[in-house]
């Protein structure tokens, strides 16, 4: 039932300047920091914030805790990110971007369709089955009612961005004609993600299991893409 060769294809005003000066702590020379130093300190801030969010939960983490852990002033976080919600946004966006950075841009990738979707699918299922990603999803679900900004931010920079990226891909002039006319690009994006996720969201209710190895994930992606493509592609000419 699988397509031939499919398994082989898987694979910054004044306030900002002041805040920048505050980031020269931890024994660094006084004065305006170099761009590389600023980037490293921002990376450290995002890393510290991400670890605290996962360890203690969004609601129990204060900006003071994050600032102390990252050796920055609380005002720096406000200047750079606008507050805790903005910082959480940056943490999720950074991790997602880093994970998909190895994949060619869907807007310009001219490889065969099964190859493009196979590579995306494998990266996607690897990401959502990571222990840290599972803990993040559980945290968002558990705290969404008391911190609605958390759920909104998470969807915007996580699932929402992935869905938008796929929708743009399925709108490409060379891609859209491959699929049944009545299926919109947004429908295709949602259906593909549902095929790849399977019952992953239901599994959040249960104790965490060991992360599947690459061979297991490849097999899952192959079956998922087979189901997706057979249900959405145009029928070949008679």
Give residue-wise pLDDT tens across range 18-60: 333 333 333 344 455 577 778 888 899 999 999 999 999 999 9
Question: What pLDDT shows up at residue 238?
Answer: 65
Supply 38's token pair.
């600023």
CATH of 14-83, one of 1.10.10.60, 1.10.510.10, 1.25.40.10, 3.40.1180.10: 1.10.10.60
Question: What pLDDT shows up at residue 29?
Answer: 40
Question: What pLDDT shows up at residue 47?
Answer: 93
| 127-157 residue pLDDT tens | 888 888 888 888 998 898 999 888 888 888 8
Pairwise CA distance, residues 155 & 149, whole Å: 10
| CATH 1.10.10.60 domain position(s) in the chain | 14-83
Question: What pLDDT shows up at residue 26?
Answer: 38
Q: Is domain 6-10+94-232 given the CATH code 1.10.357.10 in the classification?
A: yes
Pairwise CA distance, residues 202 & 206, whole Å: 8
Give the predicted TM-score (pTM) of the model. 0.76
Three-class SS of residue 115? helix
Alpha helix (H) residue ranges in 71-175: 74-81, 84-100, 113-128, 131-143, 148-157, 159-170
| CATH 1.10.357.10 domain position(s) in the chain | 6-10+94-232
Cβ contact 90:46 at 8 Å: yes
Tokens 């493509």 appear where?
Answer: 229
Pairwise CA distance, residues 22 & 18, whole Å: 6
| 155-174 residue pLDDT tens | 888 889 999 999 999 999 99
């Amino acid at each position: 039932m699988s397509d031939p060769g499919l398994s082989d294809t898987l694979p910054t005003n004044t306030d900002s300047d002041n805040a920048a000066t505050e980031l020269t702590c931890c024994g660094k020379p006084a004065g305006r920091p170099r761009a590389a130093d600023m980037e490293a300190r921002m990376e450290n801030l995002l890393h510290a914030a991400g670890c605290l969010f996962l360890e203690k939960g969004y609601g129990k983490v204060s900006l003071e805790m994050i600032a102390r852990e990252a050796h920055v002033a609380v005002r720096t976080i406000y200047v750079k990110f606008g507050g805790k919600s903005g910082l959480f946004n940056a943490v999720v966006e950074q991790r997602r971007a880093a994970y998909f950075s190895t994949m060619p841009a869907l807007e310009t990738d001219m490889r065969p369709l099964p190859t493009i979707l196979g590579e995306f699918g494998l990266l996607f299922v690897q990401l959502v089955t990571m222990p840290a990603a599972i803990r993040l999803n559980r945290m968002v679900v558990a705290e969404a009612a008391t911190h609605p900004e958390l759920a909104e931010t998470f969807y915007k920079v996580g699932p929402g961005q992935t869905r938008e990226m796929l929708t743009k891909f399925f709108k490409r002039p060379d891609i859209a004609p491959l699929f049944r006319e009545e299926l919109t690009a947004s429908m295709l994006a949602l259906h593909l993600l549902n095929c790849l996720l399977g019952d992953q969201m239901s599994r959040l209710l249960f104790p965490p299991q060991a992360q599947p190895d690459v061979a297991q994930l490849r097999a899952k992606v192959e079956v998922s893409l087979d189901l997706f493509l057979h249900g959405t592609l145009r029928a070949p000419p008679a």
